[in-house]
Amino acid sequence: MKPSKLYVVPVQLSDDSVLDPLLTYLAHAFRLETEILWKEIDLAKAYDAKRHQYYSSTILAQIVSNPPADAFRMLGVTGVDIYIPVLTYLFGEAQFKGLGALISTYRLRSEFYEQPPDAQLFHERLLKEAVHELGHTYGLVHCNYPGCVMNSSTYIEDVDEKMVSFCRACAKIIGEGGIE
């Protein structure tokens, strides 16, 4: 069986209703079949009591372990705040040219920035981060083309400034499969 499916793995999401529109969009953007995979993830292993955050790589390792035979990509979507040791926080992490990626919704909601709730804005941010991290799994590096979804994002303003789509150069790499 040729790996053909993008599995989305929810990890302690407060609101599962964000998943359906995400799966629909990703199926269209990457021309892949998408499916939710409920999987046991031990978040306690990733928790850092001093930082009150979860080590992203520990979660990602669990997401990609024992993948289904038809898994082409695995995308974790978590509601918890994630980090890697050299950074204060992350919107997401990906395995470069690899199987898996992880995004966190924790810092995508307006409420986090003491702004009124904005479901549409949250949805756009979620799509951008998902597409961005999956882009890395296809071998895309950060891109400086204005608005390209592969622009690096340190702050939420950076996320808001970019589009949800790839620039032509990045799209070409994705279209060619990106990965051998």
Question: Which stretches of the chain bind Zn ion, using CB under 5 A?
Answer: 143, 145, 148, 150, 167, 170
CB of 149 to Zn ion, least distance (A): 7
Supply 95's token pair. Answer: 């395995």
Question: Which candidate, 76, 72, 64, places its Cα nearest to that of 33?
Answer: 72
**Residue closer to Zn ion, measured from CB, 102 or 170:** 170
- Decide whether 8 or 134 has the Cβ nearer to Zn ion: 134
**Structure token digits, residue 6:** 């993008």
Min dist CB 168 to Zn ion, Å, is: 8
Least distance to Zn ion from the beta carbon of 148, Å?
3
Alpha carbon dihedral 144, 169, 23, 81, in 10-degree steps, equals -20
**Cα(46)–Cα(26) distance, integer angstroms:** 27
DSSP letters for 16-54? GGGHHHHHHHHHHHHT-EEEE------GGGGEETTTTEE
Q: Which of 89/145 has CB closer to Zn ion?
A: 145
* CA triple 35-165-180, angle to 5 deg: 65
**Active-site residues: which are they?**
133
Shortest CB 49 distance to Zn ion, Å: 28
Our CB check for Zn ion shows the closer of 134 and 150 to be 150
CA separation for the pair 106, 2 (Å, rounded): 34
